[in-house]
Structure 1
Amino acid sequence: MNDTFYFFSGQDINFLKSELLLVVAWLIAFCGLLLPKKNIFLFVSSFCSIAILANLMLLIFSLGKIEPDTTTFFWNDLFYQNRFTNYLKILISVCALFSIWIQNSYNKKNSKTVSEWFVILLGGILSAQFLLISATIFGIYVSLELLSICGYLLVAFYDKEIKNKKNSVNQKGKLIASSFNYLVFGAVSSACLLYGFSWWYGISGSFSIPVIFDFVSSNSFIESNQTTFLIGFLLIGIGFLFKLAAVPLHFWISEVYKNTSSGTVFFLATIPKIAVTGILFFILNHSIHLPSNLQEIVFSVLSILGVLSALFGGFLAIQQTNFKCFFAYSGVSQIGFLMLLLVYNFQNSIISTNGILIFWIFYVLSNAIIWKFGAELDKDNADLSIKDLKNLSFISKIILSLASLSLAGLPPLGGFLVKMIVLFVAYQNYNFHSENSIYLFSLIGIGIATLIGFFYYLKIPYYLFLKPSVGTQAMARNRFSKLTLCCSILLILINIVLTIYGIRFL
């Protein structure tokens, strides 16, 4: 770590060029809200899309300048950079473009999505990128709070078509209630996170994550402070698990997903979780230097929570008939698999590091199709049922079924590769630590969760092709535009090609 303090340098600008681009773009987009009403929506939505695309290109071209397996700290060690975080930034920009694509389903006849939605989305991307590169507890907390505020606002900004609905009063009440609950519980989780960071600062006297873990791992660290460190870890875990919607902090996800637009749902399901994944990866990688007893406690608890998320998310999804609630709880189950990849990475399982990226790539590809379909079908906001999908066109049924079965893990789709990696990493760690029953529990639990996933994801093709349409409202067959179908088919083909290519390395 560098002990010399300086304000700013040309190297810092080079490392932060993506974030600086987003700052300038956000300021221009914000000023665009002052334009005449007729021009605001077109300018703001187009400019934000172009800015995100430019940021994506910049991040891709920057990859070649980052040395593999090297982490560089800069600006007085406030931030860091490596290839893994750059890959996650690329994924975040891709997810933002998908969010705009999905949200545009609400803008066919007239501009129903408020222009502020796009400005807030751009602010969310900026906050997520700063969270990914923050190396101090101060930077992590501020970035995560800004990202959370963007999420709260996006949930509240649905669209203008609510005013024209017969049940607009009831709908607005549900939207306000879900937004308020999300805000309150999010504030509580943020308070726990801040309190946990204060415990870490109290025992180490430093804001830097590497310095904190070096101090805890040093011989001068008193054993009586281990309880203090674990309490801090517990409180910090509450904050992060809420953002990931992992068990037991998943209770908010159903109502929030059910009462907001699909573009916002896709944002909540991907961008904050990708950013939290990156910072958890950074923290857990430094945890390998902890004393063995602290390591065992931390990673055992996280392993158990990962398995419980995978299992309980699946059991809750089985009971759902509402389209949004079904995929909300299935997302809880998917996060359980991700947590195991994060936890087992500390055992030097190189495949689990790449597995985190593979997980997010296929998760994003599948969910982009699912929530795009949900956006075009969901004209009543919260009333779309899985049973109402019966009368879709044949092509639409095939695409939606393949996207769902990819999450289930059916070969040759991307979920199969993800499930194989998780099972392989769990088995690998069980072989290394066969005396520890936690690893056996994780291996068995994740295997059961995989089987449960097959069961509940098969509900989608079952209702689409086999279940008789009794008492369901008829739906026009050619409901989706040709562009939506073509883009969805392309995403499915990318899914299959990447899976076949990735299987070669297993």
Structure 2
Amino acid sequence: MHDLIPFIPGNVSHVLESIPFFLPEIYLTVLFVLVLVTDLLFGRTSEKLCRIVACAGILLVIPRDFQQIKLLFESGQVNGRFLFNEMLLLNRVAINFKFIIDALAFILLLYFEWDNRLKAHRKGLSDLYTIVIGSVLGLHLMTMAVNLLSIYLAVEMVSIASYLMVAYRTENAFSNEAGLKYVLFGAAASAIMLYGISLLYGFTGSLGLFSGNLLPGLMQANPVAVSLALGLVLIGIGFKLSFVPVHFWVPDVYEGASTPITAWLSTLPKIAAFALLINFLRPFVYFVKWTAFDFKLVLSVIGIITMIAGNFAAVLQRNVKRMLAYSSIGHTGFALMAIVTYNTSGISALTFYLAVYALANIGALALATYFANVLEADDMKSYKGLGLKYPAASICFVIVLISLTGLPVTAGFTGKVLVFSAVYGVYQHDHNIWMLLLMITGALTTVVSLFYYIKIPLNLFLKRTEIVKNTLNKSQNIVVFGIIISVLVVLLGIWPDTLFKIF
């Protein structure tokens, strides 16, 4: 104990110096407490107030994200700054991902109340808003974590919030089943990841990715054992990314959860997990002597299999949410193409692609909510003949699906072009066969995706039904929401520099 006393002043000083670079997370912590206290003080009548506080708080956090760029420049650490004794790394990539997460979180906070089935929850949505803010804080930490301990804590923080969100609609048996499956699979993935972390620590006596003896120590250990440990950690990260072979939970959980929760799970945790994967890979990629585990080969194989499995499985689906679940798996595989390049253009392409994918995916699920609200339509056959009766929602649905497919002139097309360009640039440089296979698979699965995305417009506009149910709810908020997202998707496809320059 006495041996540690001389180090205390230096550690305290480093913590205090880190606080100005940690303001968005401090704001989120205060916001979490505010929403929680608001719920406790006002009880069942607090739902709208909690929603207002949560949305206003997120809007205050977003400027703090951009302020961090200025702080990095002023401190002369443009390439990044370690925080809290190298537990976190704040750099431009992390800031970009945090901005996307916060912007999408604000959009989703607006969307939650518009789902009739979720809104009908007997306890209201006040608790849900508290959970969401706690999850956003965990997502921020995931984007910056560069210590094996901080990585595990951040992932667990997001996981616990996700478990609660999936099982929030407890009166539904299928939701209960989905929540239980998610908890069991998530606990198994966390245990596997923690075992991998313990092996890495056992080999090296270090937890820091950029400090200590981690990489030199791993170079001295048995390559097979090191590969096993790194593979176990990748499984934990892959559970959040939902790539093959840790994707099996996705269809049931996405279908069983409330649609806004599905929109959350399919976008924000996935975006943060990609940021975490970038941080995890960085020391191994730039350590020239590293030969024990070929991340490029492993992630290329996973990306190819994930694209094939996700897209071909989606073709067989009839339920809209289940189809979009398998679609999200396919998009994960495509995004891994950009990760494998691991250069500036690849990371920028990945950031843009994830942002526009998330926007379009939220739009698609919001419009699925619209048809569930007005006609209780959950599968594609239920959409027959609705295109002319609900033209605004149907046209918006088609636009966001075009973007998810990656067709001109939408943002999805631009995102895929940027990813292909980054991969092709690497292929031109080293003629790696895996880069070529990734591009071929990406192109073929993009064509396959057209076969399942087109089923919705086909049923909306080209098929007829004699039985038309009475409208249960007009849900005009979702129509306006869908129109705004559709316009953004088209505008970002025509003028991608508006968003791409930010990244």
Change (3 A) 1:382 1:78: farther
Q: Distance in 1 between matches of 2:219 and 2:345?
A: 35
Amino acid at match of 2:451: F
Corresponding residue number in structure 1 for 2:22 = 16
Corresponding residue number in structure 2 for 1:176 = 176
Q: CA RMSD in A?
A: 2.7
Q: 2:333 aligns with which of 332, 336, 343?
A: 336
Corresponding residue number in structure 1 for 2:301 = 304
Q: Give yes or no for the alignment of 1:282 onto 2:291.
A: no
Q: Distance in 1 between matches of 2:158 and 2:119?
A: 29
Q: Give yes or no for the alignment of 1:317 onto 2:314.
A: yes
Q: Give yes or no for the alignment of 1:263 onto 2:260.
A: yes
Corresponding residue number in structure 2 for 1:441 = 437
* Pairwise CA distance, 1:305: 0.6
Q: 1:28 aligns with which of 5, 23, 34?
A: 34
Corresponding residue number in structure 1 for 2:11 = 6
Counterpart contact for 1:49–1:97, Cα < 8 Å: yes
Counterpart contact for 1:102–1:368, Cα < 8 Å: no
What SS class does the counterpart of residue 469 from structure 1 fall into?
A: coil
Provide the TM-score with structure 1 as the length reference. Answer: 0.88
Q: Give yes or no for the alignment of 1:85 onto 2:94.
A: yes
Amino acid at match of 1:116: D
Q: Give yes or no for the alignment of 1:199 onto 2:180.
A: no
* Pairwise CA distance, 1:491: 2.1
Q: Deviations over 1:55-95 (max 9, x none)?
A: 12322344333348511112211221111111111111112
Q: Distance in 2 between matches of 1:422 and 1:131?
A: 23
Q: What number of residue pairs does the alignment pair up? A: 484
What SS class does the counterpart of residue 11 from structure 2 fall into?
A: coil
Counterpart contact for 1:414–1:498, Cα < 8 Å: yes
Change (3 A) 1:120 1:339: same
Corresponding residue number in structure 1 for 2:4 = none
Corresponding residue number in structure 1 for 2:362 = 368
Unaligned runs of 5+ in 2: 1-6
Corresponding residue number in structure 2 for 1:57 = 63
Alignment of 1:392-471 (within 5 A): 392=387, 393-434=390-431, 436-469=432-465
Corresponding residue number in structure 2 for 1:143 = 154
Corresponding residue number in structure 1 for 2:491 = 497
Q: Distance in 1 between matches of 2:261 and 2:351?
A: 22
Q: Deviations over 1:332-391 (max 9, x none)?
A: 00011111111211xx3x221111111122112212211211223325999601222231
What SS class does the counterpart of residue 183 from structure 1 fall into?
A: helix
Q: Distance in 1 between matches of 2:131 and 2:44?
A: 20
Change (3 A) 1:477 1:178: closer
Provide the TM-score with structure 2 as the length reference. Answer: 0.89
Q: Distance in 2 between matches of 1:460 and 1:58?
A: 40
Q: Distance in 2 between matches of 1:380 and 1:139?
A: 44
Corresponding residue number in structure 2 for 1:122 = 133
Alignment of 1:196-275 (within 5 A): 196-211=196-211, 215-216=214-215, 218=216, 222=219, 224-275=221-272
Counterpart contact for 1:102–1:375, Cα < 8 Å: no
* Pairwise CA distance, 1:126: 0.8
Q: Distance in 2 between matches of 1:227 and 1:334?
A: 31
Unaligned runs of 5+ in 1: 163-171
What SS class does the counterpart of residue 210 from structure 1 fall into?
A: coil
Amino acid at match of 1:308: I
Q: Give yes or no for the alignment of 1:185 onto 2:179.
A: no
Q: Distance in 1 between matches of 2:127 and 2:350?
A: 32
Change (3 A) 1:137 1:372: same
Percent identity for Structure 1 against Structure 2: 25
Q: Distance in 2 between matches of 1:385 and 1:503?
A: 37
* Pairwise CA distance, 1:142: 0.8
Counterpart contact for 1:41–1:111, Cα < 8 Å: no
Corresponding residue number in structure 2 for 1:168 = none
